[in-house]
Structure formats: structure tokens, C-alpha cells
Amino acid sequence: QCLLTYLGYDPGGIDGLDGQKTRQAIRDFQTAENLGVDGVAGEQTAIRLKDAVWQDRFAKDNIVPSSGQPPDLPDWWSKYKWFAPSEFRCPCGKCGGGIEKMHEGIVAEANALREYLGVPIVIVPPDGHSGGSGYRCQSYNDSLAGSVKNSRHVQGKAVDIITRGVPDEKVEARLAQRKAAGKIRYWYRISPGAHHMDIE
């Protein structure tokens, strides 16, 4: 499930269970990789999953705005190998995602943190509502308890990240270093394994 999520497939969360959404995500991956499609992560599928992660063969971005056309994304997206643009989409499911509104500086910082930690970071989980967040449309932002009207998420200048398997102290030490260097404006721990960071 972790590898599927990292590649942009939707196993319905990372819970270790072989549920319907996990099997569908495996089938989607098998189809994309021209494997036999059975929804089972057998030996060939497992090998191909690891290869896909190693070679950054991400799932095709399936976020299409209400206009029916994919957004025109700036060329700078291609510089950041650890994230697909779809990972920064608004989780509301109504606004078209807003990934074209993300600021390069925050994507660069998320990428740098991923490089430093050496493990995948989740920005917006596949279910869209489990703690991570990149861009937020104003309507979605307003619907969240505790959000502020002038949120940097609405400006495309903030991310909430999920770092499973990494001590919070390690993440926070790095965020503090980046803040001291003037690379990020503000950060805080949302909950264990989840942090917010934003830029000017």
C-alpha cells in the first residue's frame, strides 16, 4: 500500500489490509505496467512496484478540472522527482485540484525534506481527508475547523506532510534548520507524524 500510494495509486489508505480499494489499486498498477491483471500483489507485481518506485514511474495524474482539460503546469514541476503534481491537489473533489496554483518554493522544500529524510512523504493521502494538504480552495479551507481565512494553503504556499516511520524530532530539527536559513516561514507539529510548513 505504501508503494502504491507513493506512485499515485489509491489503495484506500495504508492499513495493511487487502481490501477492495487495495485490490483495485493493484489492478490499476498491473494494467499500467502491462502485467497480468488479477488484483494480487504477487511476486511479479511486487518486483515491478519496486522498479516503478526506483524509476519514478508515477501513476498518470487523474485530476482534471471542471473545464474537462488538464491544467497547464509550469515547467518547474519536472525538476522535483519525489512528487507528482496530483499529490498537492485540493482534497475537496470539486474545484479541480488547483495544482497549477502551487508555488514552486513550497514544492522545492517538500522535495528537499523528502531527500533529507530518505523516506516517502505523503502530502494529500489518497482518501483526500487524512491529514495531509497542499493546495486548498477557499471553500474547502473555510470548511475546516481551525483554519484561517488567509491560509497559505489557499495561496499555494503551504503543505501539511505526513512522515510515517520517522521520529518527529528528526523532522522538526530539519524544519527548524530550514526556518533558520530563511527557506520556510513557519512550521508546527499537527499531530504525531504530521507537520505543517509554509513559505513567504
Q: On the CB side of 171, how many CA atoms lie within 13 Å of its CA? A: 25
Q: What is the pLDDT of residue 80?
A: 83
Instruction: Report CA torsion sign: 176, 180, 183, 184.
Output: positive
Domains of the chain (ranges; CATH) run: 2-54 (no CATH), 75-198 (3.30.1380)
CB 156 within 8 A of CB 199: no
pLDDT tens per residue, range 65-95: 434 444 577 888 888 878 778 788 887 767 7
Give the CA-trace dihedral at 20, 90, 194, 188, to 10 degrees: -170
Q: Tens digits of per-residue pLDDT, 18-31? A: 899 999 989 988 88
Strand partners, 160: 133, 196
The 10s digit of each residue's pLDDT in 117-131 is 988 888 865 444 455
Number of neighbours of residue 143 by Cβ within 10 angstroms? 11
The per-residue pLDDT of the chain, averaged, comes to 82
